[in-house]
Amino acid sequence: MRLGGRGNAMAHGWEGTLSTTGEDGVRGRMRADGKMRAVVRDSYGAADVLRVAEIARPAPAAGEVLVQVEAAGLDRGAWHLMTGKPYLLRLVFGVRRPRNPVLGRELAGRVVGVGEGVTKFAEGDEVFGIGEGTFAEYAVARVGKLATKPASLSFAQAAACGISGTTALQALRDGGRIQAGQKVLITGASGGVGSFAVQLAKAFGAEVTGTASTAKLGLVKSLGADHVLDYTNEDFADGTVHYDLIIDLAGNPTLKRLRRALTKTGTAVIAGGEGGGPIAGGTDRQLRARLLSPFVRQRMTSLLARETATDLEVLKELIEAGQVVPSIDSIVPLTGAPQALCDLEDGLVGGKITVTVS
């Protein structure tokens, strides 16, 4: 699906100018009328349901902070929340229409208000992590889903890490129980989660193979992969190599193919993959993997990522050690978010897109 060139959202009716930034890089004081600009939608659907509008600024509840958003990460989850597919998501986020009209969950910015009982952060602190409705000038976030921003990263880089980085970490460490020296295959290695997974697997001491389309093989190699496979003409399950661990992020390969590519006691972690039915999406394959696992020598599992400050801190340490660098495809303004979601759906994005608000 294409709406025009990336960032040309104004040509398609998404209105509005962005906030101005002073010479010190900090935006001005909050508006007295309590309003802010945000990417919103009133219903589920394609990108044409999105618009930039003025809405009420949120207020932090107990255990939350209000963040002045400098940048927001755009991940596949934002597309699912925009479309409301698979339909099981609607049981959590709103059955007939989205409960929160503002898209976006990853963020980086500055704390400008604290809720009752918050002592970990204070006004002015630079943070990154996961909030609610982050394609906006301001968003609330729970303290347990934030960490202090790595000093080495820009806000645009830090905004890419919250969900994608911690998902990759948990897939390898918790789901995959990765060990140094293992042969690790990452499908969808050029994507948002995959670009972190390649670097993290190398940081854990693995020999890494990544799959990607022809155009993105160079990106995967630049992330540190030892080997790359072009999924358009190479089959990772052809028996040439057997892997100790497979992190399956894309493509919906059958369980049979995953098992064929594993060693006799290898592990496959299904942490992504589009497709499946409109109701449950790819979750049926994840469930079948868990049901099969007790009856075979190989370990077949799936991942339900957790959103914790603890793993953000782990990721921060690896970033500050120079072992992980967020891979940013492009940075777009709020008005460019709808087109960026189209580009993501069309497979045109390598790494992450971030939405800058300042």
- What is the SS3 assignment for 82? helix
- Percent of the chain exceeding pLDDT 70 equals 87
Phi, psi of 195 (to 5 degrees): -65, -30
CA 342 to the chain's CA centroid? 16
Which residues partner with 141 through β-bridges? 65
pLDDT at 269: 97
Q: Which of 144, 266, 279, 271 is nearest to 196 (CA)?
A: 271
Distance CA 104, CA 353 (A): 12
| Average per-residue pLDDT for the chain | 88
Is the pLDDT higher at 345 or at 187?
187
What tens digit of pLDDT does each residue of 165-194 get? Answer: 999 999 999 999 999 999 999 999 999 999
What integer is the mean pLDDT of 283-311? Answer: 91
Q: What is the pLDDT of residue 307?
A: 95
Q: ∠ CA 107-356-95 to the nearest 5 degrees?
A: 55
Res 259: pLDDT: 97
Q: Is residue 51 within 8 Å of residue 42, measured between CB atoms?
A: no
pLDDT tier, 29 (very low <50, low <70, confident <90, very high otherwise)? low
pLDDT digits (tens, 9 = 90+) for 121-173: 999 999 999 999 999 999 999 999 999 999 999 999 999 999 999 999 999 99
What are the φ and ψ backbone dihedral angles of 48, each rounded to 5 degrees? -75, -5
Where is average pLDDT lowest: 7-16, 35-44, 237-246, 304-313? 7-16
- CA dist 111 and 293 (Å) reads 45
Nearest of 284, 280, 233, 231 to residue 254 by alpha carbon: 284
Of 21-35, 92-106, 127-141, 263-277, where does the model show the most confidence?
Answer: 127-141
In this prediction, residues 314-334 reach a mean pLDDT of 97
- Residue 272: the pLDDT is 72
- Checking if the pLDDT of 247 tops 70, the result is yes
Alpha helices in 85-205 (DSSP H): 90-93, 155-158, 162-170, 192-203
Q: Point out which residues pair with 247 in neighbouring strands.
A: 186, 269
**What pLDDT sits at residue 16?**
33
Contact indicator for 163, 132 with CB cutoff of 8 Å: no
Say which residue the tokens 């040309």 belong to: 8
Phi-psi region of 185 (alpha: psi -120 to 50; beta: other; left: phi over 0): beta
If you search the block for the tokens 């894309």, which residue do you land on?
Answer: 250
The pLDDT value given to residue 252 = 86
In this prediction, residues 302-310 reach a mean pLDDT of 93
Closest CA to 83 of 301, 298, 274, 293: 274
